[in-house]
Amino acid sequence: MTIDRLASATPVRVARKIKGLSDRAIAWIFVGPTIFLLLAINIFPLIWTINLSFTNYKANRINREVKYIGLRNYERILGDSDIWLSMQATAHFLFWTLFFQVLLGFALAWLINRKFRGNDLWTTIIVLPMMLSPAVVGNFWTFLYQPQIGLFNYIIAFFTGADPSSFEMLGSVDLAPWSIVIVDTWMWTPFVMLICLAGLRSIPDYIYEAAEIDRASKLRQFFTITIPMVLPFLMLAVLFRGIENFKMFDLVVQLTGGGPGSVTEMASINLKREAFEKWRTGYSSAFAIILFVTVFGLASIYVKALNKVKER
Amino acid sequence: MSYSITEPTSRQKWFAGTLVILYAVITMIPLLWIMMTSFKTPPDSISYPPKVFYTPSLEGYVNLFTTRTRVSPETLASLPPPENFAEEIVRGRDMVIAGPSKFGGRFLNSVIIGFGSTFLSIFLGTLAAYAFSRFKIPLADDLLFFILSTRMMPPIAVAIPIFLMYRKLGLSDTHLGMILLYTAVNISLAVWLLKGFIDEIPREYEEAALIDGYTRFQAFYKVVLPQAATGIASTAIFCLIFAWNEYAFAVLLTSGTAQTAPPFIPTIIGVGGLDWPAIAAGATLFLLPVMIFTVMLRKHLLRGITFGAVRK
C-alpha cells in the first residue's frame, strides 16, 4: 500500500509545483469550514454546558447573579428519584423496542432474502415509515389510539371481542409504555431489516454449497452459518437504534407527553421539562452531561464487544 | 438454466412472499388511514365504527389553509353567494373564512430550512470529505470519530446552550439559525457518507488531470465531482429528510417566523376539539413528498442506509 501511495504521489508533486495552491493549503481550506461549524455549534455549546452544570443559572432570570456551586447539581441528580424513574422508563423502552425490532427485522430480512418476485417493491413499502417525521406520524397515532373512535382500538376489539372503549392505550398507566413501543417498532423495524438484509446478502453462496455437500441440515446451516455471519450487522443495527432510542424525544412528546402521570417520562422528556419548563438551566446541564457520558460509555463498551465478534 | 442448491424453492418463495406482503400491508394501514382521514368531514372522521367507505370531502384541506369564524344564521343569509368551493364548504358549517391559516408559511419554512441546510451540508461536506479522502490530515481518524460522536448527544442537551447562544446572537427563531443548526447536525453523516463515495473513485483520474495541467481545485471540480454525483445526490436526500422531519430543535428554538411544519401540524385545532381531517390533510401534504421520493429513489436510498451504517 505504501509503495502504491508513493507511486501515485510522484506525479502529483510534480504537478503541484507547476501551478495552483499546495495540497496542504487546499486540505485546510476544504476541512476548515466544517471544523469551524462543528466547533461553533457542537463543541463550544458542549463546553458551555459543562460550565453551566456547575452553576445555579436559570435561563429565564437573566439578572440573577450566577453562582458556582461545585458538584451540587450532580449530587442532586444522583439522589433524585424522578431521574431514576425516567432512566427506568428509558431502559424499558430501549429493551423492548430493540427486542421486537431485532426479532421482526431479522425475520423480515430472512424472508425477503428468499428473493420472491417483487421483493424490492415490498421492501420499499415496508421502509416507508422510517422515512417520515416521527412528530407528525406520532401525532396521528394518538388519533389511531383513541378509545372509542380510533382505528387501532377498533381492530384490536374486532379480533379479541373486547369493547373498543374499554381500554386506553395512551391514558392507562399499564398500556402507555407499550403504545410507544408499538409505534417505534412500526417505524424502525425496517432499519434493522435493511441492515440484516445487507448482512445476509454478504454471505457468499459457496459457503452454503460447501455445507450442503457436507450434508449439514438446513437448521444447522442456519445456526452455524447464517446467524454468526449476520451477527456483526445485527449488532451494528442494535447500536444505532440503541443510541437513537436513548435520545428518543419527538415520538414520546406527541404520543403521551410523558404521561399518564410520569410513567413514560423518559430521560429526554425529563430533561426538556427541567430545562425549558422549570428553567433549571444549571441542573439540567448537569443532567445532559450525565446522559451524554452514559451514552458514550455504553456505546464504547458495546463497540469493543462488536469488534470482538467481528474478529471471530 | 443451471441448478443451484442455494436457490430457494418456489414453495419457499411463495411462503416468504405472502408473509412479507402481509407485513407490508399492515405497515401501510396507518399511512393509508392518514390519507383517508384527510378526505373526510370532521363528523365522518370521528364516527364509530371507523368509516372505511365515505363520501370524500375537501373540508380538511380547506380548514388546513384557512381560519374561520362562526357567524349567526341571519348574517350568513345576508351574505352574497359563495365565490368558490372553499367558501361553500365553510358556510355549510355556519362559518365564514376569516383569512389564510399559518400552514402555508410553516410549510414554506420547512422548504427553505430543509433545502438551505441540505445545500450547505453538501457543499461543506463534499469539500471536507474530499480532503479526508485524498490528503494526509493530522489526526484524521480522531477527527472523523469526533465528528461522528457529536451525534450521540440528545438534541435537548445540545438545545440548552444553543438556545442561550442564539438568544445572545439574535439567531433564535430565524431561518439562518435553523439552517446552521441542521447543517451542523447533518454534516457529520454527510462527511462520513461522502468520504466513502469519494474513496471509491480511483485517484488515477485526478492524477491524469493534474499531469494535463489542471490545478488541484480544477481536478476536484471537473473530475471528482461528476464521478461522485450519485453519491452526493443520495447523501443530499438523507440530509433533506433529516431536516424535513426534525422536531426537537424546531419546537424548542422556533415559535413564529422560522417555525417548521412538524411542530405546527400537531397544534392545528378546530372549533370544539381537534380537527382531525385538517391535521391529516397537513400530515398528508407533509409526508407525501417524502413517500414519493422514497419509492422513486429506492435503489439509492436503501443502499445509502445500509452503506452509511455498515461503514461506521
Q: Give burial (CB, 10 Å; 0-12/13-18/19+) of A311.
A: exposed
pLDDT at B3: 52
Mean pLDDT, range B167-184, rounded to an integer:
92
Mean pLDDT, range B97-118, rounded to an integer:
93
Q: Specify whether the CB–CB gap between B298 and B291 falls below 8 A.
A: no
Reported confidence tier of residue A101, pLDDT bands at 50, 70, 90:
very high
**Residues contacting A298, CB < 8 A, separation 6+:** A242
Reported confidence tier of residue A15, pLDDT bands at 50, 70, 90:
very low
Domain edges within chain A = 79-311
Mean pLDDT, range B5-22, rounded to an integer:
84
What top-level class would CATH report for the domain A79-311?
A: mainly alpha
Interface of B with A in 150-179 (CB under 8 A): 150-165
Mean pLDDT, range A116-139, rounded to an integer:
90
| C-alpha cell, B24 | 407490508
Mean pLDDT, range A72-77, rounded to an integer:
89
- Cβ-based contacts of B312 with chain A (< 8 Å): 236
Residue B1 in this model has a pLDDT that exceeds 50: no
Residue B272 in this model has a pLDDT that exceeds 80: no
Q: Comparing C-alpha atoms, which of A298, A98, A295, A238 is closest to residue B150?
A: A295
Contact B20 A119 (CB under 8 A): yes
pLDDT at B88: 84
Where on the phi/psi map is residue A147: left (φ > 0), alpha (ψ -120 to 50), or beta? alpha
Using CA atoms, how far apart are residues A204 and A263, in angstroms rounded to an integer? 47
pLDDT at B6: 66
Chain center to CA of A223 = 28
Residue A259 in this model has a pLDDT that exceeds 80: no
Q: How many CB atoms lie within 10 A of CB A154?
A: 17
Domain edges within chain B = 104-267
Tens digits of residue pLDDT in A205-247: 888 888 888 888 888 988 988 999 899 889 989 988 998 899 8
- Cβ-based contacts of A8 with chain B (< 8 Å): 203-204, 207
Minimum distance, in Å, between the CA of residue A267 and any CA atom of chain B: 9
- Cβ-based contacts of A2 with chain B (< 8 Å): none
Residue B303 in this model has a pLDDT that exceeds 80: no
pLDDT at B35: 93
One CATH from 3.40.50.150, 3.40.228.10, 1.10.3720.10, 3.40.30.10 for B104-267: 1.10.3720.10
Tens digits of residue pLDDT in B126-136: 999 999 888 88
